[in-house]
Amino acid sequence: MKTIGVFDSGFGGLTVLRELLPLIPDTRYVYLGDTARLPYGSKSRETIVRYAVSSAHFLADQGAELLVIACNTATALALDEIREAMPIPVIGVVEPGAQAVLAAAKASRAGTGQSKVVVLATAATTQSKAYSRSLSALGLSSIEKACPLLVPLVEEGWLEQPAHKAVTLDVLRIYLLEALEQAPGANILLLGCTHYPLLTPLIETTLKNLHHSMQIIDSAAATANAVAAHLSGSPPRLVDANPECIFYATDSIEKFQRLGSAFLRQPLSEVHLVDLGG
Amino acid sequence: MKTIGVFDSGFGGLTVLRELLPLIPDTRYVYLGDTARLPYGSKSRETIVRYAVSSAHFLADQGAELLVIACNTATALALDEIREAMPIPVIGVVEPGAQAVLAAAKASRAGTGQSKVVVLATAATTQSKAYSRSLSALGLSSIEKACPLLVPLVEEGWLEQPAHKAVTLDVLRIYLLEALEQAPGANILLLGCTHYPLLTPLIETTLKNLHHSMQIIDSAAATANAVAAHLSGSPPRLVDANPECIFYATDSIEKFQRLGSAFLRQPLSEVHLVDLGG
């Protein structure tokens, strides 16, 4: 049974794991959430690289033969450094996300030439310009918008109770208005942070209120497909086998279990505390 | 010239340093913001203790003869552990804050017996119950309210531009309404996080809109007074001497200089990057 390591600064990467489980079931998954050092999105490249590389080493030590960087910020700022440091294949979320946008653009009325992409992401991810570079290499025009308040709002669960939801809708309206000022005719919205898919219904409401139609893409499913494609050269898989999941977190196990189940949409068994220093 | 170490998880402790500078000028201040590992307020006791103790050791290594824990979360969860680990005096913000509330209660129409205190703080600080315990020991009744979105809103500077300010006012209204439901007649509001004094004008607006009058107390000035009282047994000070400030941060120096000057209300000279592991 193959071991796949899945890494995120916190809980968001569980949305990628959720897509991997049905697609590649005959696998042992080792997930690490670096919750003692999160958030990465507001920190510097040097710090993010240091944290991400030490996390990758931990997962390799747990037997990972393939590493999925299920965190946009770590992928955008540290993918090259992680690949250099690790002797195993490493797949990030930025390239699959960009490919998913390309497929959506090809299928759209605008086509690739007239499509315009808005990428919502953390401050560190937008500063890295990783998404603009990947999209530009595919012939796609894009702008990136930093949305630093969305992760705290998702982690607080301000998504449903009316007064809370109203605040989150106001914040989304502010970010989307600013983004659409820069890219008035944009038709594709890429969610460049693994927390943001939990906001999809509220983003749809906000776009409707702004009378602006956009196709919303996230990179979780696209990343899982990229992992499956990478493994397609491997021996045939036992498709009726059950995946095995082991979770590690660098901070409170209880909080990881509680918040994590919202992202994975199932209870989290067996969460272990790990100290990566610091 | 005495060396005083001032520690915070980030920038908020600069509001305490700002009060110390005019009060105890003939001093060399070494400030550490553990920005690579912030925020502390959403993390577990074990992690907060580990980070705070390693930060305290760093400041002692820089020559600190007295340590000010200018961070409510670190004080509430790790003061005992820091005191045990360090051979120098350690002063936190919780006890001075509680004393400031006592003075306000004594001077109020309600007096200490009828005063009721609302403490706004991070999730970790409220969970520790450090403020309720300190206030209760002084004969004061209180409730604690966790306000996890206030630090991100302050760090984003959503305080002035009208659309941003409207969001922050909505969030404050939600938190204060919930707090006042638990403590309907509360007359004193303690800002139990060093970020919150920057919100004072918006808190005043929110209370006015709720037709609820409260005296707002923060612990920055009270903590500076506690440090001065502790030093009053020391040799007479050269009151016309200028303080010297050296700043250390564990993440981006540029961000520390930019955000820090809003808290200190003056430009920050000489910020050094330090790696505390992790």
Place of tokens 């690490």: A32
pLDDT of B45 over the 90 cut:
yes
The reported pLDDT for the residue numbered A217 is 97
**pLDDT per position as a tens digit, A137-168:** 999 999 999 999 999 999 999 999 999 999 99
Tokens of A151: 């992760």
Q: Do B252 and A47 touch (CB under 8 A)?
A: yes
Q: Do B37 and A171 touch (CB under 8 A)?
A: no
Q: Find the mean pLDDT for residues B159-166.
A: 98
The reported pLDDT for the residue numbered A236 is 54
The reported pLDDT for the residue numbered B278 is 63
Between CA B11 and CA B264 the distance in angstroms is 9
Q: Do A44 and B170 touch (CB under 8 A)?
A: no
Tokens of A213: 């139609």
Question: What pLDDT band is residue A270 in, cutting at 50, 70 and 90?
Answer: confident
List, in order, residues 6 or more apart from B202 with CB less than 8 Å away.
B159, B165, B168, B169, B172
pLDDT of B129 over the 90 cut:
yes
Given a contact cutoff of 8 angstroms between Cβ atoms, the answer to whether A175 and A166 are in contact is: no
Domains in chain A with CATH codes? 2-92+221-273 (3.40.50.1860), 95-219 (3.40.50.1860)
A234 CB burial (10 A radius; 0-12, 13-18, 19+)? exposed
Q: Do B252 and A166 touch (CB under 8 A)?
A: no
Question: What pLDDT band is residue A242 in, cutting at 50, 70 and 90?
Answer: confident
**pLDDT per position as a tens digit, A67-82:** 999 999 999 999 999 9
Between CA B142 and CA B131 the distance in angstroms is 8
Question: What pLDDT band is residue A135 in, cutting at 50, 70 and 90?
Answer: very high
List, in order, residues 6 or more apart from A103 with CB less than 8 Å away.
none
**CA quadruple B173, B175, B177, B179: dihedral sign:** negative
The reported pLDDT for the residue numbered B241 is 75
The reported pLDDT for the residue numbered A142 is 98
Residue from A9, A11, A38, A42 whose CB has the most chain B CBs within 10 Å, to mutate? A42
Tokens of A228: 């499956």
pLDDT of B235 over the 60 cut:
no
Q: Do B170 and A171 touch (CB under 8 A)?
A: no
Q: Using CB atoms, which residue from A37, A148, A155 is nearest to B37?
A: A37
A44 to chain B: closest CA residue = B252
How much of chain B exceeds pLDDT 90, in percent?
A: 93
Q: Do A251 and B47 touch (CB under 8 A)?
A: yes
Given a contact cutoff of 8 angstroms between Cβ atoms, the answer to whether B172 and B199 are in contact is: yes
Q: Do B148 and A149 touch (CB under 8 A)?
A: no
Q: Find the mean pLDDT for residues B32-47.
A: 96
The reported pLDDT for the residue numbered B26 is 92
Question: What pLDDT band is residue A134 in, cutting at 50, 70 and 90?
Answer: very high
**pLDDT per position as a tens digit, B52-65:** 999 999 999 999 99
Least confident stretch, A54-63, A97-106, A260-269, B82-91:
A260-269
The reported pLDDT for the residue numbered A241 is 75
Q: List residues of chain B with CB under 8 Å from any CB of chain A.
A: 35-37, 42-44, 46-47, 50-51, 148-149, 152-153, 155-156, 158, 163-164, 166-167, 170-171, 174, 250-252, 255, 276-278
Between CA A60 and CA A67 the distance in angstroms is 8
- Whether B193 is catalytic is yes
**B216: helix, strand or coil:** strand
Q: Please report residues of B whose CB lies closer than 8 A to that of A44.
A: 251-252, 255
The reported pLDDT for the residue numbered A278 is 63
Q: Find the mean pLDDT for residues B41-53.
A: 96
B52 to chain A: closest CA residue = A278
What is the number of alpha carbons within 13 Å of residue B216 lying toward its C-beta?
19
Helix (H) or strand (E) holding B32: strand B27-33
Q: ∠B54-B57-B58 over CA atoms, to 5°?
A: 90
List, in order, residues 6 or more apart from A92 with CB less than 8 Å away.
A68, A69, A74, A75, A79, A223
pLDDT of B93 over the 80 cut:
yes
Given a contact cutoff of 8 angstroms between Cβ atoms, the answer to whether A223 and A19 are in contact is: yes
The reported pLDDT for the residue numbered B269 is 82
Of residues A78 and A237, more confidently modeled:
A78
Question: What pLDDT band is residue B242 in, cutting at 50, 70 and 90?
Answer: confident
Q: HEC string of A67-91?
A: EEECCHHHHHHHHHHHHHHCCCCEE
The reported pLDDT for the residue numbered A205 is 98
Between CA A228 and CA A19 the distance in angstroms is 11
CB atoms inside a 10 Å sphere around CB B156: 18
Buried b / exposed e across A197-218, counting CB within 10 Å, b at 16+? bbbeebbebbbeeeebebebbb
pLDDT of B277 over the 90 cut:
no
B241 CB burial (10 A radius; 0-12, 13-18, 19+)? exposed
**Eight-state DSSP code of residue B237:** P
The reported pLDDT for the residue numbered A272 is 97
The reported pLDDT for the residue numbered A77 is 97
Q: Find the mean pLDDT for residues A59-64.
A: 98
Give CA separation, B104 vs A218, B11, B140, in Å: 52, 27, 11
List, in order, residues 6 or more apart from A177 with CB less than 8 Å away.
A210
What is the number of alpha carbons within 13 Å of residue B132 lying toward its C-beta?
10
The reported pLDDT for the residue numbered A239 is 62
Place of tokens 């920190």: A43
CA distance B52 to chain A (A): 10
Least confident stretch, A241-245, B185-189, B239-243:
B239-243
**Partner residues linked to A66 by β-bridges:** A4
CA distance A276 to chain B (A): 6
The reported pLDDT for the residue numbered A48 is 97
Question: What pLDDT band is residue A235 in, cutting at 50, 70 and 90?
Answer: low
Residue from B34, B35, B44, B272 whose CB has the most chain A CBs within 10 Å, to mutate? B44
Q: Using CB atoms, which residue from A36, A47, A163 is nearest to B47?
A: A36
**pLDDT per position as a tens digit, B180-218:** 999 999 999 999 999 999 999 999 999 999 999 999 999
Given a contact cutoff of 8 angstroms between Cβ atoms, the answer to whether A23 and A237 are in contact is: no
Between CA A249 and CA A35 the distance in angstroms is 6
Helix (H) or strand (E) holding B29: strand B27-33
Question: What pLDDT band is residue B19 in, cutting at 50, 70 and 90?
Answer: very high
Tokens of B38: 């912030």
Point out the catalytic residue in the list B70, B71, B118, B249: B71
CA distance A178 to chain B (A): 12
Q: Using CB atoms, which residue from A35, A43, A167 is nearest to B36?
A: A43
Between CA B232 and CA A241 the distance in angstroms is 72
Q: For chain B, what is the radius of gyration of the CA atoms?
A: 18
ipTM: 0.94
Q: Average per-residue pLDDT in chain A?
A: 95
The reported pLDDT for the residue numbered A240 is 66
CB atoms inside a 10 Å sphere around CB A112: 16
